[in-house]
Structure 1
């Protein structure tokens, strides 16, 4: 049983053999082995004992690290296709489906000097190559290549109905699945935020836009040009600011101040009539503002010192 030999096809006995040492004798033995060609020589109780092998016996050769097969006339290395086993069970029986079965508190697969890979290969894209996690023989989680070449993680409450929690596109690496936001308005608790649906340092500032109330661009947009500065927000709010130049007034005794109107083109067009406000820049100076009407929304303007009700004669 589980025969191990120090050497195969040996013809000369060792000078000082060890207790239990076994050799597969060759075709031309000498010394104490004469007349025992092809036998197994075992050193037991300070004497050689010989056993004639039967055809088909196998032995592990310690000197070569190979299995040897007795074919009835000589020992020869066992062909690779004859070293395969139909199944292996460790503390549990194997079967035609589970050809390797291990029952133990843990299973260790380690390296032999560097790295180590565990390979799970399938025949075609539509087949499955995965790891299935069970509880009391009921599947609750599975990860791997399930019916495609994209890596996925699935979960199940009962082993019958399954949910694709996370799937990765094999071409782009992009993630989808029940664990990921389905759209920008999806705020389901526990879901992972997509980069194109959420906000962070990379997209908080930029060009704002929205679709039926849902932001589709950045949150804040800021800019300036010759007509002033503007700030736009994702909810549609826009603020434009500008410092108008001073205008001289004509003072007629007993009359109000008068001046020609200034025209200001907004640095960014409004989509609806804006609310306009302003302030003067000196004591006893007044400013009047005309609110733009609907024809003045697209970069039109307001007039200065035209609202007489806001002025006082000085």
Structure 2
């Protein structure tokens, strides 16, 4: 039979042993140290100057002084001397210095492993509740990568539910972004936590934007709103087809074109300018002191607005010639070229008409 217990190394009382109380008391003293083990500190390296009876220190790898050469052992102060013994795998001890429970894993005193699956809740610096199962009270929260990227995923059960980030001040919501009742991404704002407006909403099918932060119509010039591509102007739509709706421009700023009747320029404000170099005209018919051509007609390259009368100007095409214009319609005008020189050669007169296209 062994003289010591297999686990705690407690001395047994042997048959016919003299002074049995010595062995018994030694076992009790050992039990007094290891049962409900409490350590002054772990990883200790320097013996205290005035230890108290029963103090136990868990020594580090390279202790000094009276502890030299006892690395990894437990040092107990008993009857004015240090007693050393080895911890066994799985021993638990309260670390008085750190106020935490420690576990001996065979090499180091570590924090006991804790189950982290299917917890009822976690409160860090605060308490969780039935709604907020994870609650953190701190100056900041860090979520970092594990070697590459990092995704924070917020999942909802159905399209009509909410998966969002809510920003509060004194527990009153003022901003929210995410999937709020739809599958489109939305940024919402509120002055009081009760009245909310969708400042920006992105359509999940097209990616186009809407919301109170976006220009609402072509005539919306509200300060601070973001301009829509189809309402504002830039290199992509400055030139093109001008259009209007009830007097409000809906197309490009400038439209320019030409056809067999001349050139034209239309502006978004409704202004239209038509120009042409007309067919050569021969002044052969005498009229008073000069000669005049037969009457001709200029069909405008683009019609003017109904009810409007364009202003006309032009030249006879050469010195001592001028054009005489009739009353224009919205689509054409008659004219004659007159000359103060007998037998003038044929020349091409120039014509300009300015009016409105709407």
Q: When the two structures are superposed, what TM-score results if normalisation uses the length of structure 1?
A: 0.71
Which residue matches 1:301? 333
User: How much has 1:259 moved relative to structure 2?
Assistant: 2.1
Aligned-CA RMSD value: 3.3
Which residue matches 1:44? 74
Q: Measure the CA separation in 2 of the matches of 1:141 and 1:155.
A: 4
1:203 aligns with 2:237: yes
Which residue matches 2:212? 178
Q: Measure the CA separation in 2 of the matches of 1:188 and 1:151.
A: 24
Which residue matches 1:292? 328
Unaligned runs of 5+ in 2: 1-36, 38-57, 62-71, 76-83, 93-101, 343-358
The within-5 A match list for 1:76-91 is 83-91=117-125
User: How much has 1:134 moved relative to structure 2?
Assistant: 0.8
Which residue matches 1:120? 154
For residues 181-206 of structure 1, give each alpha carbon's deviation from its aligned partner in whole angstroms, at most 9, with x where no partner exists.
12111111111111111111101111
User: How much has 1:48 moved relative to structure 2?
Assistant: 2.5
Q: Measure the CA separation in 2 of the matches of 1:102 and 1:122.
A: 22
Structure with the greater alpha carbon radius of gyration = 2
For residues 39-65 of structure 1, give each alpha carbon's deviation from its aligned partner in whole angstroms, at most 9, with x where no partner exists.
xxx9424533458889xxx979799xx
1:98 to 132, 140, 146: 132
Which residue matches 1:261? 295
User: How much has 1:215 moved relative to structure 2?
Assistant: 0.8
Conserved? CA contact 2:242–2:253, under 8 Å: yes
Which residue matches 2:262? 228
Conserved? CA contact 1:166–1:175, under 8 Å: yes
Structure 1 residues 50, 237: closer, same or farther in 2, change over 3 A? closer
Task: Out of 88-97 and 244-253, give the one that drifted further.
Answer: 244-253
User: How much has 1:265 moved relative to structure 2?
Assistant: 2.0
Conserved? CA contact 1:276–1:291, under 8 Å: no
Conserved? CA contact 1:228–1:240, under 8 Å: yes
1:275 aligns with 2:311: yes
2:163 to 129, 133, 136: 129
The within-5 A match list for 1:131-150 is 131-150=165-184
User: How much has 1:158 moved relative to structure 2?
Assistant: 0.9
Structure 1 residues 251, 85: closer, same or farther in 2, change over 3 A? closer
Q: Measure the CA separation in 1 of the matches of 2:267 and 2:334.
A: 24
Q: Match of 2:206, SS?
A: coil
Conserved? CA contact 1:61–1:68, under 8 Å: no
Which residue matches 1:165? 199
Unaligned runs of 5+ in 1: 2-17, 22-41, 70-77
The within-5 A match list for 1:22-33 is none
For residues 3-30 of structure 1, give each alpha carbon's deviation from its aligned partner in whole angstroms, at most 9, with x where no partner exists.
xxxxxxxxxxxxxxx9579xxxxxxxxx
User: How much has 1:245 moved relative to structure 2?
Assistant: 3.8
For residues 255-280 of structure 1, give each alpha carbon's deviation from its aligned partner in whole angstroms, at most 9, with x where no partner exists.
54232123322212223332221123
